[in-house]
Chains A and B, each alone.
Chain A
Amino acid sequence: MTAPAVEQAAPPALVEVPAVASLAVRALVAGRRRRFGVLGASTHAVWLDGGHDVLVLSTRDATRLPNSVELPFDADRALMASIPPGDTMQVGGGFVTGGPLTVRVVRWWDPRLVLAPVAPGVLERRLNGLPGEVPGIDSEPLACAIRARCPTGVLDAATELLGLGDGLTPEADDMVAGTLAGTRCLGHALGMRRSVAALDAVAPVLMATAMARTTTFSAALLRHALRGEVAAPAAAFLRALAGRGDVVAAHTQLRKVGHSSGRALAAGIVLAGRTLIATA
């Protein structure tokens, strides 16, 4: 006896979603096709792990990160959330594909921050009253090392902090990221090349340490921070510190990001600013 033929349900139509990606991940996205593992997925984001590199597929209403591939508002959120962790997606050739999702990058944005020059006194005034620490995190050794322009000191102090706290990006990592990005961007704006050079000196070792001591995702964000690439609200705050935009508004916006990430990032940036001024 044969079972009656069952009509197969048609596979979901492959819709190509246009996306906008960070230039910081162009080599990954436009390069040779590779498999990335799905770290996690929600209605706002899919985190993709390429071993050393992490990409975030996110919708436009999520925070834009320096490693974001951003989908339009009307992206199929249910589809995104349905991607199981552990699955793989293909990244490369200008596409991110996996399961029913086909994302084509049609446009790039530049996450590198270029700030207008700013005088130390002006920056000090703009930083006035903003919190530069996070309760429970002793950031003084890091500040001390930046003030001393001491690469090994920066490395040791940052290493001590990495991985401290909960979450996809531990709170201390966010603070360190803020401090590193703040030192690079504000250091340029203040014309303090030696402080920036100290960062460059520790970058490779710090990255290797981060890979060992914290989550893959957080380590990736730290790598971007070292190059001065930060989440969009942190960029807006840094721009405001350099005279483009309202400092208090940008600071408030940044502190709203995530559960604690925004506050820690903001504190790190403020710490970097104050430390640089103290050195200048």
Chain B
Amino acid sequence: MIARVEVQPGRYHDSVRLMQASKVLQELPGIADALVAMGTELNLSLLADMGFDADAAAGAGPNDLLLAVRAENDQVMEAARLALEAALSAKPVASGGLDGPEPRTVGSVAARSDANVALLSMPGEHVFVEAMDALDAGLHVMIFSDNVPLEQEIALKAAASNRGLLVMGPDCGTAIVGGVGLGFANAMQPGPVGIVGASGTGIQELCCLLDDADVGVTHALGTGSRDLSESVGAVSTLQALSALDTHPPTELIVVISKPPAASVAARVRGAAAACSTPTVVTFMGETTIEEGAAEVLMRLGVPEPAYRSWDSGGGPVRQGTIRGLFSGGTLRDEARFIAMAEVGEVGTVETADGHCFVDYGDDEYTKGRAHPMIDQTVRLDRLAAAADDATIGVILMDVVLGYGANPDPASELTPMIQRATDAGAAVVVSLCGTRGDPQGRDEQAAALNGAGASVWLSNAAAAREAVRVFAATNGGTT
């Protein structure tokens, strides 16, 4: 073991750098002890405490660099010298940008940007805190997430309406604000219609029909699936309705929802009647979306088009029940409403007997995976099963296009559709999409059609077609 003490007069380094240099030395193999410090009294006494020859540093002052190393041998000592030089003369690493971390909270994004709407899609239990953050920052909020406790929805909507802000959701799948689609939304051109909707796919289907009639929208404001419940009391629906009523470019308003609580329905109808802008109220179950769209078009003086469809060519179809495989709850409800008028009871859960129309967007099927509009795994599995199930004659399914949805649903579905049609089943597709959708509406339709499916832009028309095929192959009603 050898020790060396050295004084380098007038060589100043700040104490931090010296500490780092000491650390570098101490970590070298073969070094027992090292001190790299300015020659202050404190450090000189430290030197003595460490057992170095203090006399060797006699006369060193606070402006002199003090080096003391105890090493195994000369070789290590030389290595230490080099390492020390390197450590003391190291050039700092280029500092790079002054970027902080990504914002972590809605409040932080709001403070750092010109955002005016927050789109929240974290797990429902965490939504409330972030949504309050957004409201505190003066942002409107769209809550895509579901599983937000009811009392939190009520509190949020109360806080928002006090501030003149809108809460769309929770469980709000779709909105179009100033042309920008939030959540699952179809590409819509600007136009005269303002939509207020408590159902995401309801808004999407309406958009899809209006677009086919070349009618655009100003805004489509979602309100969330529970907004028209007794306990929430349509807070967001009424706010959105009143805002669209005074929005000059909006020439006609549509309110679209599943059937609400009776008292709430009356309140919404009252508010709609009081609007100075013509307002169409469509409560599904009382009417279909297609009928709602027809009324809108009639009021605008636009002829109702024959909504596009792509015929399958109509080969022979095996006998059997109708199986509905849906990703949109509202589309399922509309189709079921239409079918039940013709074929009697249609179940909503998977069953071996009789007709059933299942919504695979329901919680039960989405635990731990993305919505079927994105991840079609479950529906593909059920489609395959239906293809192989000789008791099923007609498979009715929706395919929803637009922003946020699967980028190419047809490519995944066509092999299974082909399998079903090859096996003699009829496949009827309700295609919810607009001409501007990124998936390419007509390409998707053509691909689905090419696999043997008949494709209908109107969900109601698809349902009627399924019923028609069923009736034709089963010789009348069941």
Residues of A within 8 A of B (CB): 20, 23, 106-110, 112, 114-116, 242, 244
Contact = CB atoms under 8 A, between A and B. Distances in A.
Contact of B436 (A106, A109, A110): A106
Contacts of A115: 248
A23 B216 CA distance: 12
Contact of B438 (A106, A108, A114, A244): A106
Which of A106, A108, A244 has most chain B Cβ within 10 Å? A108
23 contacts: A20-B179, A23-B189, A23-B190, A106-B187, A106-B436, A106-B438, A107-B179, A107-B180, A107-B187, A107-B436, A108-B179, A108-B189, A108-B190, A109-B178, A109-B179, A109-B190, A110-B190, A112-B249, A114-B248, A115-B248, A116-B248, A242-B248, A244-B248
Contacts of B249: 110, 112, 114
Interface string B162-185: 000000000000000011100000
Nearest to B192: A114
A186 B178 CA distance: 23
B351 interface: no
A244 B179 CA distance: 20
A106 to B, nearest CB: 7
A233 to B, nearest CB: 15
A130 B296 CA distance: 42
Contacts of B187: 106-107
B246 interface: yes
Nearest to A188: B248
Interface of B: 178-180, 187, 189-191, 246, 248-249, 436, 438
Given A109-B190, A116-B248, A242-B248, 20 more contacts: A20-B179, A23-B189, A23-B190, A106-B187, A106-B436, A106-B438, A107-B179, A107-B180, A107-B187, A107-B436, A108-B179, A108-B190, A109-B178, A109-B179, A110-B249, A112-B249, A114-B248, A114-B249, A115-B248, A116-B246
A189 B436 CA distance: 33
A110 B251 CA distance: 14
Contacts of A114: 248-249
Contacts of A116: 246, 248
A23 B187 CA distance: 14
Q: 6 closest pairs, A vs B, by CB?
A: A110-B190, A114-B248, A114-B249, A116-B248, A108-B189, A107-B179
A191 B178 CA distance: 27
Contacts of A109: 178-179, 190
A106 B436 CA distance: 7
A242 B190 CA distance: 21
Contacts of B190: 23, 108-110
Contacts of B438: 106
B186 to A, nearest CB: 12
A109 B61 CA distance: 74
Contacts of A107: 179-180, 187, 436
A108 B178 CA distance: 10
A20 B180 CA distance: 10
Nearest to A107: B179
A115 B250 CA distance: 11
A107 B180 CA distance: 8
B246 to A, nearest CB: 7
Contacts of B248: 114-116, 242, 244
A114 B246 CA distance: 11
Contacts of B178: 109
Contacts of A242: 248
A135 B65 CA distance: 72
B169 to A, nearest CB: 23
A23 B188 CA distance: 12
Nearest to A242: B248
A102 to B, nearest CB: 16
B76 to A, nearest CB: 49
Interface centre among B189, B190, B438 (most CB of A within 10 A): B190
A20 B436 CA distance: 13
Contacts of A112: 249
A116 B438 CA distance: 35
A114 B187 CA distance: 22
